[in-house]
Amino acid sequence: MADETLDPLDTLRRKLRFRAWHRGTREADLIMGQFADARIGTMTEDELAQFDAVLEVQDLDVYNWIIGKSEIPPDYQTSIMQELLDFDFRLPGSHF
């Protein structure tokens, strides 16, 4: 039974977190999932929309933006994309 008292933004946050961890490639899962875990709980409605837009982009494109292999298109040059670029990712089991 669905909890009708849930805030619509909290429902959106749960859906986006799931999508972030289930991208299709392990590298994208780790990058987007870790970022979502760290940041999604405090994202504003506008930031959630920005993150949702990034989640719609193909894994390889986002990965190439993050590693600097290709330029980020102007439509994706947002505050959330900048946070994603600045985010300190960790490999599982890594102590670095």
Domains and CATH numbers, the chain: 8-86 (1.10.150.250)
Count of C-beta atoms within a 10 Å radius of residue 62: 23
pTM score of the predicted model: 0.86
pLDDT of residue 96: 46
SS (H, E, C) 47-70: HHHHHHHHHCCCHHHHHHHHHCCC
Closest-CA residue to 51 (of 41, 3, 27, 89): 41
pLDDT tens track for 36-85? 999 999 999 999 999 999 999 999 999 999 999 999 999 999 999 999 99
pLDDT of residue 93: 60
User: Please, which pLDDT band fits residue 2 given cuts at 50, 70 and 90?
Assistant: low
Handedness of CA 31, 32, 37, 43 (dihedral sign): positive
